[in-house]
Amino acid sequence: MSLRPAQAVWFELLTTHDELTDTLQALAHTGTIELELYENTRQEMDLQDLQARLHEFARLKRKYHFLWPAPDTGMSPFSGSPGDILDKALVCLTDWEKQARPKIQRLEVVKSRLMDLRLLQDFLTNNEASALDFQLLSTTGPNIVARLFLLPSRRRMEKVPATVLWKEYATTERSYALFVGSIDELNQLSAELAIKKYTQIQIPVMPARIDDARLAISEKLSRLEIHARQLQKEIHDLAVPYHLAQALGEINRMEWFLANVSELPASINFAWITGWTSDVEGQKLRDAIELNSSHAILHFPDSPEGIQPPMMMRNPWWAKPFELFARMLGTPGSNEADPSRILAVMAPLLFGYMFGDVGQGLVLLIAGLILQKRWPLLRILVVNGASAMLFGFLFGSMFGREDLIPALWVHPIDDPLPVLAVPLVAGIVIILTGMTLNALESSWRGEWLRWLHVDAPVVGLYLGVISSFFLEGTISVVIIASALTWYLIGNMLLAGGKLMPVLTSLASLIEVMMQLVLNTVSFVRVGAFALAHAGLSLAFNIMADSAASALLAMLILLLGNIIVIVLEGLVVSIQTTRLILFEFFIRFLKADGRVFKPLSSPITRTISL
């Protein structure tokens, strides 16, 4: 059984313009193709291809145009065809971006600090501000903090909580508001003010007196302005080695060319269709072409370089409905596991445990059998209903009553502790399964050694913490100590013996272990919802037993079961989905694969040859 998703296969098809529509419609009817425009490299030049390459330039221009030199349209170091020249120019821009990006990011941080300091300098021109102790304001905490905001367009402050001290200050050009209060109140207030376009000004450490504070801010501004000019010079100097001005000149020429030349002479006899297919053997496509009596030429070469293939989850019929959960995030990548087959067992067990009732489970099963032909996804109801029936026998519950069949295990209301404990153990198994899939993915990515150094000891620590509830304390301490030592040595090896990365990894380890413990405890909710399901059913049974007539009792039971099936069925489905997404998938699934989107209509993008 392979848990790894499959890649779609690249196909290329040559057909005449006369047969294009019929051929493409025949292929679309197979439900196995996704079109993707790709220029045949044997063509001399295609304007659409050149236009597509300029999309990357447009992205770079939006981000960096203010840092670029003026285009140089004189002598150029580039040669070759228009496509080659454009590619070389784009390479210069992308290489420049890689080198300049860290400096640009630092420059943006410096500019943000400069803006805060200039606003703070303006704030200090207010005469009323002279009464403030600026050292106290800038060093408040940890419980009481001070925050300064710029008011948009001299807008006056709206309602402020009574427990927050505040005051407005006006200068020649702007208005400000200073707040003092608890950190929780100011965090909430800051979030509200940010929505209303109030600008928070970071307050650096300053001397107490206003004259000293003004001098300190002025000195900080001078130093940061020098730093900003140095960064701008370093970014500007990068333009020369990467021929940035010449590259921009060539791209400007290409944009003019594309804007003024609408088409090139080309053959009008054929159309070239390219894309991806989930028909790995290609037999469905060949049969469709043959059935259509088309003279098309179909072949399956290697996919072009630089194009990410779509991924397909290839599961047996019984696991296909459970692809729904992974599709909520996207599609598993080529080095990620497709969890659908595991979920075909896990999801029904979680659902059935929380919804354990023989009669109500039978209703879901029958509904699934009836509706699955119209909505195939509702096949999930069949297996979920069967699981609910299984746990209904274990809990001795039929249509909410516990006096019709004996409990093969326990009645949840009478013995709640085991009902809560079992999901906790199941949660441990589920989390360990996620960790195992993470190990498998690390092997696929060629990162087995890193997993062994970092993730494997986390598994050991988790097992050590869990074992402390079942084994002697000494054994658990040995397991935890061994795993922690393993983790430290592994991170030390990866960090090349440096201490700071190891200390950082320890902080990360604490966060991961807290998350694991919380995720494990979260599975207790499965038992809690089983108790809630039994409790709601019991409430309707008590109402029915106290009814004045048998007919009224039957109506109460009928209405109660309808409410339980609809309401509890929805709630339990949501909780099952939540546990899968946030407690299981978080261990191994990022869903960074490209989704395969089969063509559903005969609309196409073609390339004339």
Structure confidence at residue 128 (pLDDT): 83
* DSSP tag of 312: E
Going by C-alpha positions, the residue among 269, 123, 278, 87 that lies closest to residue 204 is 123
Residue 606 has pLDDT above 80, yes or no: no
Of 6, 213, 7, whose CA–CA distance to 122 is shortest? 213
Q: Which has the minimum average pLDDT: 124-128, 139-143, 433-437, 504-508? A: 139-143
Instruction: Report the pLDDT value the prediction gives residue 418, as an integer from 0 to 100.
Output: 93
Residue 81 has pLDDT above 60, yes or no: no
Q: Among residues 230, 228, 236, which one has the least CA distance to residue 107?
A: 228
- Is residue 388's pLDDT more than 90? yes
Q: What is the mean pLDDT of the chain?
A: 84
pLDDT for 61 = 86
Phi, psi of 166 (to 5 degrees): -155, 160
What's the predicted TM-score (pTM) here? 0.58
Cα 203 from Cα 475, distance rounded (Å): 52
DSSP string, 459-492: HHHHHHHHHTTTS-HHHHHHHHHHHHHHHHHHHH
Percent of the chain with pLDDT over 90: 26
What CA–CA distance (Å, rounded) separates 446 from 324? 29
For residue 45, the model assigns a pLDDT of: 42
Q: How confident is the model at residue 609 (pLDDT cuts 50, 70, 90)?
A: very low
Both tokens assigned to 51: 């236009």
Distance linking the first and last C-alpha atoms of the chain: 44
Q: What is the pLDDT of residue 202?
A: 87
Which strands, in side-by-side order, build the sheet including 144-151?
Answer: 165-170, 175-182, 144-151, 199-201
Token match 């430290």: residue? Answer: 488
Distance in angstroms (rounded) separating the CA atoms of residues 79 and 590: 43
**Res. 385: pLDDT tops 60:** yes
Cβ-in-10-Å burial (0-12, 13-18, 19+) of 183 comes to: middle
CA distance 21 to 360: 51
DSSP letter at 162 equals: T
Cβ within 8 Å of residue 507, ≥6 positions away: none
pLDDT (tens digit per residue) in 300-344 = 888 888 888 999 888 888 898 999 999 998 899 989 999 999 999
Fold of 6-43+266-312: Alpha-Beta Plaits (3.30.70)
Dihedrals phi, psi of 169, to nearest 5 degrees? -130, 130
pLDDT at 500 over 50: yes
Burial of 244 (0-12, 13-18, 19+ CB in 10 A): buried
- Give the tens place of pLDDT for each residue, 133-185: 888 877 776 788 888 988 887 566 667 888 888 888 888 888 888 888 888 88
265, pLDDT greater than 50: no
Percent of the chain past pLDDT 70, that is, above it, reads 89
Q: How far apart are CA 257 and CA 511, in angstroms?
A: 56
Between β-strands 6-7 and 310-312, what pairing exists: parallel, antiparallel or unpaired? antiparallel
Cα–Cα distance measured from residue 230 to residue 474, given in angstroms and rounded to the nearest whole number: 60
- For the stretch 180-224, pLDDT in tens is 888 888 888 888 888 888 888 888 888 888 888 889 889 999 999
Q: Quote the pLDDT of residue 80.
A: 54
Q: 297 - beta bridge partners?
A: 14
The DSSP bridge partners found for residue 151 are: 175
Q: Which whole number is the average pLDDT over 557-569? A: 89
Nearest-angstrom CA–CA distance, 410 and 406: 9
d(CA 493, CA 501): 11
Which amino acid, 460?
Answer: G
Burial label, 586 (beta-carbon count in 10 A; 0-12, 13-18, 19+): middle
Q: pLDDT for 104-139, tens place per residue?
A: 889 989 998 999 899 988 888 888 888 888 888 777
pLDDT band at 82 (very low <50, low <70, confident <90, very high): low
The pLDDT assigned to 354 comes to: 95
Q: Would you kindly state where each structural domain of the chain is located, as residue ranges?
A: 6-43+266-312, 109-231
The strand pairing partners of 514, in sequence order, are none
Cα(495)–Cα(503) distance, integer angstroms: 11
| Residues 514, 15: Cα–Cα separation, whole Å | 60
C-beta neighbour count of 358 within 10 angstroms? 20
| More confident position, 502 or 262 | 502
Q: How confident is the model at residue 352 (pLDDT cuts 50, 70, 90)?
A: very high
Predicted pLDDT of residue 130: 81
